Each structure stands twice: as structure tokens, then as C-alpha cells.
Amino acid sequence: MKILGKFPSTRLRRVRNSDWIRRLVSENSLSANDLILPIFLREGKNKIEKIKSMPGVNRYSIDRLTNVLDKAEKFKIPMVALFPNTPNKKKNKNGTEALNEDNLVCKGIKTIKKRYKNIGVMTDVALDPYTSHGHDGIVINGKVDNDETLKILKEQAILQATMGSDVIAPSDMMDGRIGLIRKSLDKNDFKETKILSYAVKYASNFYGPFRDAVGTKKKLKGDKKTYQMDVRNYNEALREVGLDIKEGADFIMVKPGMPYLDIINLIKQNFKIPVFSYQVSGEYSMIMNAVKNKNLNENAIYESLICLKRAGSNAIISYFSLDIAKKLSLF
């Protein structure tokens, strides 16, 4: 790019010297429309349970979802994402609870869609909340078997769509699952059900508090490096996204968020498709604890989200969504 102008006739600080001019020439903005609120579900009645590793985040029993959904509706958050904390007694090696039409996610979908007409529901397609070993798929001879896993993921997606899920979000990172799920949805008359592909999900160290929240942290045997992306890789993201778009993905997810701003921008510039980013639990907990201990000003929360927008995110899954939407509503 050719740089125009030179000092002293050109002074870039002129357009920074007052709040009104900074607002007038700002290149990016953040609103509630950009936010997706993740919600953790638990069994029981009248339960709101704090998650120690994620200050300010709770697990909700189905009958207490109104506590958080009423606020989401009030502050105009367009979509929520549901994640279950499945009791250990309902987990097994094949994650068959994922296909139970009375599981936590199915109950959550039906409850929300019955009462909240203007909030979209996104549901996770993966087996890790349901398996006794904590992996996202079927383990055979010590390895996650891609093609056997696809069979149950397809059924899981159809069940969620049948219950009323608006956005099916496969986060499992199995090869070929987007095409299989898209064909199955279309065949079962769910042509309008959208697919958000976790196409670029890295085998990151930032997921720890989430695994605690859904109860898989102590269950996980080994790691997920054989199916999630290598944190060192850049161009591989283009291949993952290109394949998933061809297979029918409507949106693409990059996860985690802030450590992968370069990847968000890479996908946006190359594919011009809606890109979502996930400000994951580790990012949230680091920022939240730093703010709580007064090591960071709370304005760092807004900054962490606007940088995801600047990189190219159309929408952001964040545990800060409710608080930020509330603050934005005051302006």
C-alpha cells in the first residue's frame, strides 16, 4: 500500500484528540448483535451452580433457564449455545446419551423454543460430554475412529434439529462430518437448519475450564491432537475451511479466539464467509481473574472482544456476552 502524505502537513493525531472524533472515524464497533451466549446445563430442579474455574459463570437446571434467558432477551442477544454437564452414570464408551431425546440439550432446546421466539438456539454436535473417556468420538483400539463416529454424529444432529435447534454446530473435528450432516438434514426435511462448522478448532491448552464445566476434565484420557488442529499450523486452516464450505457449512468457527486472530483474518479474507470466533473458557478465566485481582482494567473485556471483530469475526461466542450486552444497552 502506498502511504499518502507526510509530516508536518499530515498529522494522524488530529483524528484522535477528542472522544467525538475517535467515535466518528472508528473502523469497527461492537453490539449485542455480535454476541452469542454459551449456557451450561445440569440435571436437577431449581439449581444454579457456580463453576469455580470460571468466575461469574453458572450451570443451570432446565427450570432455571429463565434466569439467564430473560436477560438475554432483554439485552437483545440473538443466539445462545447449549452445553450439557451430563451425569457420569449416563456416560458410556460410545456416548449413547447423545441420542436420548430426553437428554439435557434436547430438554433445553424445547424449553427455549417454546418461550423465546426471538432467540436462536445453537447446539454442539460432539460426543465428549457423553463419553466415559472424554473424547469427541468412538474409541476403537485406543484411537478415535473417524467413520464410526460419523454414524452417531449424524443421528445426534438429526435429533437436535427435530427438537428445534436452529444451528447445528459440529465441534468434533471428524473428517467428512459436515457433508454427511448436511445431506441427512436435507433428507429429513431440515433444509433451513443451519450448520456452523468448527472447521478450525485447535488442540489448544485454553480449554481447561470448559472441560471442568461440562465434567470431562477428569475423564479425558490422553489428548485430542489426532483430530484437532496443530497449534503450529496456518495453511491447514484454509484446507479445513475449504472442504467444509464445499460440504455445506453456512458459517465457520475459529477456536480459540484471541491467540488466533491471524487465522480469523486469513479465513475472512480468503473465503468471504461469515466467520464466528469462540473466546474460550481459558481466555475468559484469565481476563476475569486479572480484572478481579485489579491487574487489568475491566475495559480489557471490551478490548478483547473488539479485537476479534477487527480481525474479521461476524459473531463471537463469549462468556462475557451478557455483561457486555447489558453495558452496551446503556449507550
Residue 139, strand partner residues? 144
pLDDT of residue 330: 83
Would you tell me the crossing angle of helices 299-311 and 321-328 to the nearest 10 degrees? 100
Non-local (6+) Cβ contacts of 71 within 8 A are: 322, 326
Q: What SS3 state is found at 285?
A: helix
pLDDT of residue 222: 87
Please state, in angstroms and rounded to a whole number, the distance separating the CA atoms of residues 196 and 50. 28
Please state, in angstroms and rounded to a whole number, the distance separating the CA atoms of residues 194 and 167. 5
Is the overall model pTM greater than 0.85, yes or no? yes
User: What positions carry a catalytic annotation?
Assistant: 201, 255
∠ CA 89-93-99, nearest 5°, is 75
What does each C-alpha distance from 271 to 107, 200, 260, 274 come to in angstroms?
A: 36, 13, 17, 9
Tens place of pLDDT for every residue, the chain, 331 residues?
787 888 999 999 999 999 999 999 999 999 999 999 999 999 999 999 999 999 999 999 999 999 999 999 999 999 999 999 999 999 999 999 999 999 999 999 999 999 999 999 999 999 999 999 999 999 999 999 999 999 999 999 999 999 999 999 999 999 999 999 999 999 999 999 999 999 999 999 999 999 999 988 778 888 999 999 999 999 999 999 999 999 999 999 999 999 999 999 999 999 999 999 999 999 999 999 999 999 999 999 999 999 999 999 999 999 999 999 999 998 7
pLDDT of residue 221: 82
CATH numbers and ranges of domains, the chain:
32-328 (3.20.20.70)
Please state, in angstroms and rounded to a whole number, the distance separating the CA atoms of residues 326 and 87. 33
What does each C-alpha distance from 324 to 73, 301, 327 come to in angstroms?
A: 14, 8, 5
